[in-house]
Structure 1
Amino acid sequence: MAHDSNGLSDRVSRRKFIATTGATGIAAIAGCSEGGSSGGSDGESGDGSSGDGGSTDGGSTEEESTETATEQSLSGEINITGSSTVFPLATAVAEEFQKMHSGVDISVQSTGSGGGFENFFCPGESDINNASRPIKDSETQNCNSNNVNPHEIKVATDALTVIINNENDWATEMTVDELAQIWGPEAGSGQTWADINSDWPDEEIERFGAAETSGTFDYFTEVINGEEGAHTQDYEPTEQDRTIVQGVTGSQYAIGYLGFAYYSQNPDQVTAVAVDNGNGPVKPTLETAKSGEYAPLSRPLFTYPAMSALSEQHIAEFCRYFVEQSANTELVANQVGYVPNSQEEMQTELDELNSAIEEANS
């Protein structure tokens, strides 16, 4: 993946890619390697294995030839389900992996974190499940009952973003309590902006948010409303974040919430709300998410391969590559829109993954 003179065009291409795949919620990455060399990461990734097979120094050594042959010999299918928030990152990583391993067919499907665990991963129908919150104990038990043992990998940090229509000039800053009044279980049809703040318009609030199968739904309700699942039913639920953007764009009195990556691809279409958690309003940015200043809506993002899947070489190598790329600032931050792992975090995740792979093959 060239990140120097082509950085802008890469970024524009990724934005178009997210806009199209985000609407459908599924990406089949087979055949993306045409015309590509090995296309690994830039220097940000800190890896020296899966991501740097493309450069030579003028002569092919026997060792280099062996490495190339090993890379090209990988083949098989990888089925990835889960979080719509992690979807654009997983798809971007899968696309780059395909450039080095054309024999590996990867399908990434946006099903929601919970929907992915319940309907695909725990029943053994997918190899990896992405999640925008940690796996629940009940989900782990469900997986274990089907002899599926998940391994947790932190791949990035998100600034979960509340968005409003660009013509909304009254609620650009909101407290956690005001958000709780809008999104709590008691909020219902007929509630107006003036009901939240008497200085705001006496116009009914239109809500667009994550479906109950989404990890974003779980996380948002827990940190804003104080209890997982404590969420109004009077809203338009969806697993497709692009639909939330479109809904908020279409009404001056609308509000929604979604992963920062989708907002960062549409910064001119909607307005991000600055959230006041008691220390003054803070806008969602990669910097405020990384520092923890954007509270309480900064959150870690995960992917969960099954231990049994890690016994397959092509899946193990993809997971290693995903971990290595989690520290790639150009890919994770600039192209997708999340906070990358630090080099230390990446190495910790890689060490733990390698241990899991060794265990899976023992």
Structure 2
Amino acid sequence: MKNWKYFMMTTMVGSALALGACGDDAETTEKETPTEEVTTDTAEEPEAVLEGDVSGDGSSTVAPIMEALVEEYAAVQEAVKVTVGVSGTGGGFERFIAGETDFSNASRPIKDEEKAELEAAGIAYTEFQIANDGLSVVVSKDNTWVEDLTVEDLKKMWIEDGTTKKWSDINPEWPAEEIVFYSPGTDSGTYDYFDEVILDEADLVKKATLSEDDNVLVQGVQGDKNAIAFFGYAYYLANQDTLKVVKIGGVEPTNETIESGEYSPLSRPLFVYASNKALSEKPAAYDFMKFSLENAGEMAEAVGYVKLQDAAYEKGLADLEAVK
């Protein structure tokens, strides 16, 4: 755009000079008017290039949104390097508390003990909600018997009670086959949320395969008709050709039921917690967070989560501006 503007300005000036030189040579005046030198300043100040490193870590559930934001941001600010780890919500907070990251992604609200540790470390922070999620319970497409489960069914299945869990224990009409469990790891905010609303802090079944990597859970369920797992809605959508989502209390997770809260109790908010020091002292960190809040809704929808109301993002931007 700047080259085009420069071309138009120099063309217009050149035309004006040419027209001034095209008078009739035969017509002269006794006293020539001195010609004023025409000068134009077409040089533009070069735009400042934003540079720096920004680091984050945390929730694997938030990761698809953040990865999309990082990719889009790289096209806007090529000299800023943003790196984001996926060690789970709890693991992300550990690094955040240690002062190793500028922001931490979380699929649950920050815990009181984490708040206390941040305060003790002298780290002030700001909470930004970026999207909503519906924690999704899934089975294999080859599972032909499970369509709907209640919260009580989930408790009976997932809480350790010393027995071998079989599908027929939940419904006598279902196969007398052992249930194979796949769960997010204990550092995951998804695990924490499930623990809060389903397990009531009781022990998870001991035979469950745990992983911080949701793709491991997806692959486990895909390959076993007796398997069941839970993880973020986006991971279900990305694999819905090979997975079947289970209704909870007759309600299927969709954008509409998650946003309205009808998909209860497994609808939940997703967060980014950012260091106030990084936001105020690192222009790249502030700029990336501003870009994230301005584009989080679009990116959330693009990767399969549910965007917030515009007012929520406007509040986030106002909170961000207050920190600067």
Q: Same fold (TM over 0.5)?
A: yes
Matches within 5 A, 1:314-333: 314-328=284-298, 331-333=299-301
Equivalent in the alignment of 1:151: 126
Equivalent in the alignment of 2:38: none
Match status 1:95 vs 2:71: yes
Match status 1:354 vs 2:321: yes
Match status 1:233 vs 2:206: yes
Q: Shift of residue 285 of structure 1? A: 1.0
Q: Shift of residue 190 of structure 1? A: 2.0
Checking the alignment, whether the CA contact within 8 Å between 1:222 and 1:230 is kept in structure 2 is no
Matches within 5 A, 1:18-97: 59=5, 69-70=47-48, 73-97=49-73
Equivalent in the alignment of 1:218: 192
Q: Distance between the aligned counterparts of 1:164 and 1:136, measured in 2?
A: 31
Matches within 5 A, 1:183-194: 183-186=158-161, 188=162, 190-194=164-168
Q: Shift of residue 230 of structure 1? A: 4.1
Instruction: Give the 3 Å change call, closer, same or farther, for CA 59–294 of structure 1 in structure 2.
Output: farther
Equivalent in the alignment of 2:306: 339
Equivalent in the alignment of 1:11: none
Q: Distance between the aligned counterparts of 1:299 and 1:272, measured in 2?
A: 17
Equivalent in the alignment of 1:205: 179
Match status 1:110 vs 2:86: yes
Match status 1:313 vs 2:283: yes
Instruction: Give the 3 Å change call, closer, same or farther, for CA 132–332 of structure 1 in structure 2.
Output: same
Q: Shift of residue 238 of structure 1? A: 0.4
For residues 163-193 of structure 1, give each alpha carbon's deviation from its aligned partner in whole angstroms, at most 9, with x where no partner exists: 001111211111111011111132x562111
Instruction: Report the more deviating stretch, 211-220 or 166-175.
Output: 166-175
Q: Distance between the aligned counterparts of 2:217 and 2:319, measured in 1?
A: 36
For residues 284-341 of structure 1, give each alpha carbon's deviation from its aligned partner in whole angstroms, at most 9, with x where no partner exists: 111110111111111000001111111211000111111111232xx221x2111012
- Secondary structure of the residue aligned to 1:326 is helix
Equivalent in the alignment of 1:126: 101
Choose 1 or 2 for highest CA Rg: 2
Equivalent in the alignment of 1:9: none
Checking the alignment, whether the CA contact within 8 Å between 1:156 and 1:341 is kept in structure 2 is yes
In the alignment, residue 204 of structure 1 is paired with which amino acid?
E
**Structure 1, gaps ≥5 residues long:** 1-54, 358-362
Q: Distance between the aligned counterparts of 2:114 and 2:208, measured in 1?
A: 26
For residues 57-116 of structure 1, give each alpha carbon's deviation from its aligned partner in whole angstroms, at most 9, with x where no partner exists: x64899xx77x824xx11111111000000111111011111111111111110000111
With structure 2 as the length reference, what TM-score do the two structures score?
Answer: 0.84
Checking the alignment, whether the CA contact within 8 Å between 2:60 and 2:212 is kept in structure 1 is yes
Q: Distance between the aligned counterparts of 1:299 and 1:168, measured in 2?
A: 27
Q: Distance between the aligned counterparts of 2:78 and 2:237, measured in 1?
A: 30
CA RMSD of aligned residues (A): 2.0
Work out which of the residue numbers 250, 266, 270 in structure 2 matches 1:301: 270
In the alignment, residue 136 of structure 1 is paired with which amino acid?
K
Work out which of the residue numbers 144, 160, 182 in structure 2 matches 1:169: 144
- Secondary structure of the residue aligned to 2:125 is coil
Question: Number of matched residues?
Answer: 288
Equivalent in the alignment of 1:139: 114
Equivalent in the alignment of 2:241: 268
- Secondary structure of the residue aligned to 1:232 is coil
With structure 1 as the length reference, what TM-score do the two structures score?
Answer: 0.76
Q: Distance between the aligned counterparts of 2:62 and 2:68, measured in 1?
A: 10
- Secondary structure of the residue aligned to 1:69 is coil
Checking the alignment, whether the CA contact within 8 Å between 1:157 and 1:289 is kept in structure 2 is yes
- Secondary structure of the residue aligned to 2:207 is coil
Q: Shift of residue 149 of structure 1? A: 1.7
In the alignment, residue 116 of structure 1 is paired with which amino acid?
G
Checking the alignment, whether the CA contact within 8 Å between 2:69 and 2:296 is kept in structure 1 is no
Checking the alignment, whether the CA contact within 8 Å between 1:189 and 1:234 is kept in structure 2 is no
Q: Percent identity?
A: 37
Checking the alignment, whether the CA contact within 8 Å between 1:140 and 1:150 is kept in structure 2 is no
- Secondary structure of the residue aligned to 1:96 is helix
Checking the alignment, whether the CA contact within 8 Å between 2:180 and 2:226 is kept in structure 1 is yes
Q: Shift of residue 226 of structure 1? A: 2.7
- Secondary structure of the residue aligned to 2:235 is helix
Instruction: Give the 3 Å change call, closer, same or farther, for CA 300–113 of structure 1 in structure 2.
Output: same
